[in-house]
Amino acid sequence: MDASTYLQAFITVGGAIMGIWGFIKVVKDIKHDSDAEHDRRQRWDKAAKVIEEKEDLWDKALTDMEQGRKRICDRYDGRLDDQDAKNQQMLAMLCMTLRAQDAILEALVEQGIGNGEIKAMHRELKGFILDQVQ
C-alpha cells in the first residue's frame, strides 16, 4: 500500500467517525429538546392538577376574606355613624349654649346691667352667630 491509499483510508475512516459523531450529536440534541418539552408539559400538567385540586379551597378562602372585609367595613361604618351622631348632638348642645348666652347678654343689656364690655360681647356674639348661620 502506498501513501495515497493510507491517506484515502484515513479520510474515509475519519469521515465515518465524523459522520457517526454528527449523527450522535443530532440525536442527543433532539433527545434533549424532547426531554425539555416533556418536562415542561409535565410541569404544566402538574400546575393544572394543583389548580383543579385547590380550586374549591381557594374559592372558599376568597369568600371568607370578602366576608371578613365586609364585617370590618360594617363595623367601621357603624363607628362612623355613631361618631357622626355624637358630633351632631355636641353641635346641638353648643348651639343651645350660644343661644342661652345671647339671651342672657341681651337681657343684661336691655336692663342696663353691666358695662360696655357686656354690650361689646353681646354685639360680637350676635355677629358670630349671624356669620355662622349664613
- Residue 62: per-residue pLDDT: 92
Lookup: cell for 51: 389548580
| pTM attached to this predicted model | 0.45
Lookup: cell for 83: 361618631
* pLDDT tens column, 19-30: 888 888 888 989
Lookup: cell for 119: 354690650
Is residue 109 within 8 A of residue 126, CB to CB? The reply is no
Top pLDDT among 9 and 100 is at 100
* pLDDT tens column, 67-91: 999 999 999 998 999 999 999 999 8
